[in-house]
Amino acid sequence: MPSRQQLANAIRALSMDAVQKAKSGHPGAPMGMADIAEVLWRDHLKHNPTDPNWADRDRFILSNGHGSMLIYSLLHLSGYDLPMSELENFRQLHSKTPGHPEYGYTPGVETTTGPLGAGISNAVGMAIAEKTLAAQFNRDGHDIVDHFTYCFLGDGCLMEGISHEACSLAGTLGLGKLVAFWDDNGISIDGEVEGWFSDDTPARFASYGWHVIADVDGHNPEAINAAIEEAKSVTDKPSMICCKTIIGFGSPNKSGSHDCHGAPLGEEEIAAAREFLNWPHAPFEIPADIAADWNQSDKGTASQSSWNDKFSAYQAAHPELAAEYERRVIKGELPADFASKADAFIQECADKGESIASRKASQNAIEAFGKVLPELLGGSADLAGSNLTLWSGSKGIQDDAAGNYIFYGVREFGMSGIMNGISLHGGFINYGATFMMFMEYARNAVRMSALMGIQNIFVYTHDSIGQGEDGPTHQPIEQLTNLRTTPNMVTWRPADSVESAVAWKNAIERQNAPTSLVFSRQGLPHQTRSDEQIANIAKGGYILRDSVGTPEVILIATGSEVSLALAAADQLGDNVRVVSMPSTNIFDGQDANYKASVLPSSVTKRVAIEAAHTDFWYKYVGFNGKVVGMTTFGESAPGGDLMKHFGFTVENVVNTVNSL
């Protein structure tokens, strides 16, 4: 029977061989953490390689994602659909083994990691989702939601500020089923970290309210196992297991050094490592007895079968809850009547005709949709009163684990990373809010959401220089362009309550991409529309007011500037068409005939109006058109004064059109 050392050495051999064949990669972390991974994956991790998406599986996150060959080795050895040919194709085009683990590429990879600190924030989100789902669905004698989230992380993850944001909140929320493993090897790319990372990490995590297990020998299976057992027994706090390891363990001449962090070991050193580890096998060769001991397929199938029996008993005892669990968690479906109720609310907004700030219109939508969507889980980065994200049914999870609202505190980046984890876990549609300007703090996590193609609803209020007296530090200029040009991201900037309701409906129904909803601080006038125009809002851009006969001029506007475009059209005469384009991303996805019907190529006199950066709009107005927008930062003054100062006036729009 193979020893634990031999089982761990299988990871080391595969990792150094794949990196060497690719001529790039990071062998040090996989070789250093192999012993920890062997104990966790073979003795503790609840998973089923034959069904990687089993709802009650434990989640495993490799936050130090540069060590991707660690997770690829584990998945292959455990029996996932990741054949050896994929490991041999490491870091090559269209392989299932990209340079950093990517969600959707590789069965068993729970999230895309690479940006350091991202994984641990995702893990916090997954642990929040597990705890909240358990509180919402579990009943006496029926614990159908009962799994752990395990996360490996390195010094780099701990140096990144997002780890502070996320882990601080995790301690406050008492996430007892979150277990993190710190790979304390003292090495980063530049060398020994003591020159730039001398934090007392155990004390830091203890101050967060974590259960800390310090000074664990990361190469001693018995010590590792004891630490995991202790961590699992502490149910009211997340646990940090501090593992002292040697980076590149097994490499006689490069272990313990940054030389093995981010480069292949070289053929000569690999040969020496094989001798040191007593691994006399050819590259990518795993002996049959070691492969058999590693394979977890039968164990995983039995574990899932046992859970299926538990769920059957749950169905018999609580049939309505079981049906709701299947809808939300297993199938990920919306309630059957959601679309009809959402359409009724949109019509209600049209009938009411309220002139309100779009952030208030957003809150009204949350109020309406929250009543029919128990899976809606919201939050704000300490701006609930300004973002207007609370509704009458909001219950903070810090007081009631079965609640539906997260007070994230001033943690825009952490919030967005946590949201990614919640979405990846499943069972929720989550939204999180901050000021539009502070999307910049969260930018990397927002991009990761788009990269993974997962559903998140990012609510951004205070969308322009209309923010006013707070000045240019709080006034977004280039952020809308940033969001609109991010692949997979869908961005909306509604003009009134009706467009806001349509935007919310679209975001809730969009399961394969994140949505950014951008709302105003100031009040916006209601726009009257026909039924056809209301229907066309969902196409991203539509004719809000048409010319008499063929248009000679087209004004394109979004958000607060739509009313300005209409006022300018009143002065310009009957030959002007006004197009409201709340979502350029959605409009761009329409068929050519529809786009041409809204923006006919024969009309070259076009002006776009938006209190944001001008450059984005030239794709719609062309070389002959002009843009009334921003080319500088804002100023500190009342919002109305700023709009006049920067040219968002009827007079300036009219003059701009006449100058064409």
Q: Are 417 and 452 in contact (CB under 8 A)?
A: no
Q: Which residues contact 507 (CB under 8 A, 6 or more apart)?
A: 431, 457, 490, 492, 515, 517
Residue 327 labelled as part of a binding site: no
Tokens coding 58: 């434990």
Residue 258 marked ligand-binding: no
Sketch the domain layout of the chain as residue ranges.
4-118+144-301, 337-518, 539-659
Do residues 240 and 120 lie in contact, with contact meaning Cβ atoms separated by under 8 Å?
no
pTM, rounded to two decimals: 0.98
Cα(224)–Cα(328) distance, integer angstroms: 36
**Would you state the structure tokens that stand for residue 535, as one six-digit string?**
């229907």
pLDDT of residue 238: 98
Give residue-wise pLDDT tens across range 243-287: 999 999 999 999 999 999 999 999 999 999 999 999 999 999 999
Distance CA 270, CA 287 (A): 18
pLDDT per residue as tens digits for the range 400-439: 999 999 999 999 999 999 999 999 999 999 999 999 999 9
> Is 114 annotated as belonging to a binding site?
yes
Distance CA 524, CA 356 (A): 5
- 572 is annotated as contributing to ligand binding: no
Superfamily, domain 4-118+144-301: Thiamin diphosphate (ThDP)-binding fold, Pyr/PP domains (3.40.50.970)
pLDDT digits (tens, 9 = 90+) for 492-547: 999 999 999 999 999 999 999 999 999 999 999 999 999 999 999 999 999 999 99
Annotation marks residue 320 as catalytic: no
* Residue 21 zone, left/alpha/beta (φ > 0; ψ -120 to 50; rest): alpha
Class assignment of domain 337-518?
Answer: alpha beta
What ranges make up the beta strands (E) of 155-203?
Answer: 178-184, 187-188, 191-192
Q: Say if residue 462 carries a ligand binding annotation.
A: yes
Q: Catalytic: which of 160, 375, 412, 610? A: 412
Instruction: Tell me the residue type at 456.
Output: N
| pLDDT confidence of residue 25 | 97
Q: How many CA atoms lie within 13 A of 236 on its CB side?
A: 1
- Profile the chain (660 residues) by mean pLDDT over runs of 10 residues: 97 98 98 98 98 98 98 98 98 98 97 98 98 98 98 98 98 98 96 96 98 98 98 98 98 96 97 98 98 98 98 98 98 98 98 98 98 98 97 98 98 98 98 98 98 98 95 97 98 98 98 97 97 98 96 98 98 97 98 98 97 97 96 97 97 97
CATH topology of domain 539-659: Rossmann fold (3.40.50)
